[in-house]
Amino acid sequence: MSKNKTDSLLAVPCGSLQISELSPNTTTGVISQSIQFSLVIPTYKERDNIEKIVKILSQVLDEFMPKDYELIVVDDDSPDRTWEVAQSLMDEYPQLRVMRRQQEKGLSSAVIRGWQAARGNVLGVIDGDLQHPPEVLTQLLRGIQQGADLAVASRNVEGGGVSSWSVVRRFLSRGAQVLGLIILPGVVGRISDPMSGYFMVRRSALSGVTLNPVGYKILLEVVGRGRMRSIAEVGYVFCERKQGESKVTWKQYVDYIHHLLRLRLATGRVRQFSQKIGFPIGRFLRFGLVGLSGVFVDMAVLYLLSDPTTLALPLTRSKIIAGEIAIFNNFLLNDAWTFADVSMEQQGWSQRLKRFFKFNIICLAGLMLNVLVLNLVFNFLIPNRYIANLIAIAIATIWNFWVNLKLSWRVTE
């Protein structure tokens, strides 16, 4: 055991999930020499697998590209202390680096954080549970050497398959792929195994790109947002797990659909149009949906407080409380969803409080605008209170959105 145990861990990159062009190490100001290949091994509770996989991967890569690669284990603070086991292997395997994440969680972001700390010109990922056969690595690397921007290990090309999956699991897997083809044909249609978690990509095809994944399927993100001109595929058989257990639950299916839709919005025609006119349509739609949820919250609280069958409090007092709770609801959702990318850059309670304060004031101003527009439209333009109200709501929503975009969730230094 070395004396400085914690010092030998990699620092966890923070901020947005962007892949930089140059190798990092900006903290020291020295640009460390780049290497050919960085392979990230995301782990969660893989104590019984980690030594074996590090050993096999090192053997394969030592032969193929001695000293020109690194293995980066990114562990999410596993309760079985996988990171500690990995760390204890560092003396024996000098190409091994270990990151222990304690703040963030999740497979996809683990992979990206690993890539952000990587020095390689080619960035790869492999599961830490030996379900991905390490021998395939050299074929994937050859694919890249022959000019591919992305090389994917696939279960659905020649030489590929799954070992002994049940009919149900096969069906679910295929069903997910078909769904992907429907929602996101331009991305999912480019690869025979879009669910693969075993692939490598040229840094140059990802640099400058900010990834924003949900759930497990990081390959979708890479193909959807990166600049993949040519893609190579290599067949592999997905082995059975011998140690530990899979972390896949039903939540991954929900995340997957969410991810498909988000990518569709981010890369589809809507996005192109939105860039052309300089208006963030996707964000505005989310803002609108959040606003709609606020209406329900407002109504429910108003009912609970003022209805004669419930608390029967005075109407105005009830409405003020209901409105404020709705504003709070909207703030939380907007902060976590609509403007997630911005709030991630500005974490911490005081920052969040500041945003909430601004949001509150802007919404109150929006309410006044709402009343004003309603009166103007009703009295001078369209003498129908409901149409006038719709117009007033639309204008107030755009105001709320735009001013909050510019003030509350503005990207500051």
| Site residues for ligand GDD per CB under 6 A | 42-44, 46, 74-76, 105-107, 110, 127-129, 131, 195-197, 216, 246-248
Give yes or no for a contact between 75 and 53, defined as CB atoms under 8 angstroms apart: no
DSSP label at residue 99:
E
Closest alpha carbon to 207 in 40, 17, 35, 26: 17
Q: Which does 195 bind (CB under 5 to 8 A by kind): Mn ion, ligand GDD, none?
A: ligand GDD
Q: Which residue's beta carbon is nearest to the bound ligand GDD?
A: 197
Intra-chain end-to-end CA distance of the chain, in Å: 41
Q: Which does 106 bind (CB under 5 to 8 A by kind): Mn ion, ligand GDD, none?
A: ligand GDD
Neighbours of 320 (CB within 10 A): 12
Q: Is residue 149 near Mn ion by the rule CB under 5 A?
A: no
Q: How far is the CB of 218 from Mn ion (least distance, A)?
A: 14
Give the residue with the Cβ less far from ligand GDD, 226 or 323. Answer: 226
CA distance 119 to 117: 7
Helices (H), 47-166: 47-64, 82-88, 107-116, 136-145
Q: Is residue 108 near Mn ion by the rule CB under 5 A?
A: no
Q: How far is the CB of 128 from Mn ion (least distance, A)?
A: 8
Q: How far is the CB of 236 from ligand GDD (least distance, A)?
A: 11
SS3 82: helix
Cα→Cα distances 264→16, 182, 227, 286, 384, Å? 20, 11, 16, 14, 39
Residue among 95, 131, 156, 408 that touches Mn ion (CB under 5 A): 131
Question: How remote is the C-alpha of 106 from its chain's centroid?
Answer: 9
Q: Is residue 196 near Mn ion by the rule CB under 5 A?
A: no
Give the residue with the Cβ less far from Mn ion, 246 or 384. Answer: 246
How wide is the angle at C-alpha 28 spanned by C-alphas 25 and 29, nearest 5°? Answer: 85
Closest alpha carbon to 132 in 76, 74, 200, 180: 200
Give the residue with the Cβ less far from Mn ion, 193 or 298. Answer: 193
Q: Which does 255 bind (CB under 5 to 8 A by kind): ligand GDD, Mn ion, none?
A: none
Give the residue with the Cβ less far from ligand GDD, 115 or 216. Answer: 216
Q: Which does 352 bind (CB under 5 to 8 A by kind): ligand GDD, Mn ion, none?
A: none
CA distance 350 to 174: 46
Cα→Cα distances 279→225, 283, 331, Å? 20, 9, 21
CB within 8 Å of 355: residues ≥ 6 apart: 331, 335, 343, 346, 408, 409
Give the residue with the Cβ less far from ligand GDD, 154 or 408. Answer: 154
Q: Is residue 129 near Mn ion by the rule CB under 5 A?
A: yes
Helix/strand/coil (H, E, C) string of 147-205?
CCCEEEEECCCCCCEECCCCHHHHHHHHHHHHHHHHHCHHHHCCCCCCCCCCEEEEHHH
Q: How far is the CB of 164 from ligand GDD (least distance, A)?
A: 14
Report which secondary-structure segment, H or E, holds 237: strand 237-238
CA distance 31 to 123: 18
Number of residues that bind Mn ion (CB under 5 A): 3
The mark string for 234-253 relative to Mn ion (x by CB under 5 A, - otherwise) is ------------x-------
Q: Which does 331 bind (CB under 5 to 8 A by kind): Mn ion, ligand GDD, none?
A: none
Q: How far is the CB of 390 from Mn ion (least distance, A)?
A: 52
Q: Is residue 221 near Mn ion by the rule CB under 5 A?
A: no
Q: Is residue 46 near Mn ion by the rule CB under 5 A?
A: no
Q: How far is the CB of 241 from Mn ion (least distance, A)?
A: 5
Q: How far is the CB of 132 from Mn ion (least distance, A)?
A: 8
Q: Which does 319 bind (CB under 5 to 8 A by kind): ligand GDD, Mn ion, none?
A: none
Q: How far is the CB of 170 from Mn ion (least distance, A)?
A: 16
CA distance 349 to 411: 16
Which of the residues 55 through 84 are near Mn ion (CB under 5 A)?
none
Give the residue with the Cβ less far from Mn ion, 53 or 228. Answer: 53
Neighbours of 282 (CB within 10 A): 16
Q: Is residue 43 near Mn ion by the rule CB under 5 A?
A: no
Q: Which does 197 bind (CB under 5 to 8 A by kind): Mn ion, ligand GDD, none?
A: ligand GDD
Give the residue with the Cβ less far from ligand GDD, 152 or 205. Answer: 152
Q: By CB under 5 A, name the binding residues for Mn ion.
A: 129, 131, 246
